[in-house]
Structure 1
Amino acid sequence: MDGTVVPDTRRRLPGRGAWLHPDPDCLRNAEKRRAFPRAFRLHGPLDVDRVRGHLAQLGKEVAGSPRDQQEARKQVDPS
């Protein structure tokens, strides 16, 4: 791994994954708490620019009705 966190929208990439709400506040909190290195069992800081860009793109797509925004913020449970 080159230290870059990438969004796996199709859930097909190999290796460990981490769930994140599609909300920029959740990304900021994960960075602040150093959640990604723990989730991926890696040491050191990781680059989350691609995830930040993906969330920004989702925000543009969800900019429709308030119901759409509410649906996009629901937690996704992998089980």
Structure 2
Amino acid sequence: MFRNQLVGRLMFWRQQRRNITTTRPKRGGDHHDEGGVPGATLPFDTSNRYLLALTVGTFFGSAFATPFLLLRHQLKKKSA
């Protein structure tokens, strides 16, 4: 009797897992049609080119400057 229950549960979970994997692509509830507008899915505004240049410059500039600032900090810490 215990074996039949175990087999029944395994078949149930196998069926549930199969149902989940086959229905997930069908759901697609978060799909929003943006109408093919360039930059519509970006997390920042691309309509103002000066603000965009400042944003991109700050982003890449901070990434470029970080190793140099860390090196300066370590050298200051060592000499003090």
Higher RCO, Cα 8 Å, sep 6+: 1
Identify whether the pair has TM-score above 0.5, normalized to the shorter chain: no
Specify the TM-score bucket, using the shorter chain as the normaliser.
Answer: under 0.3
Name which one, 1 or 2, has greater alpha-carbon Rg: 2
Larger helix percent: 2
TM-score, normalised with respect to structure 2? 0.26
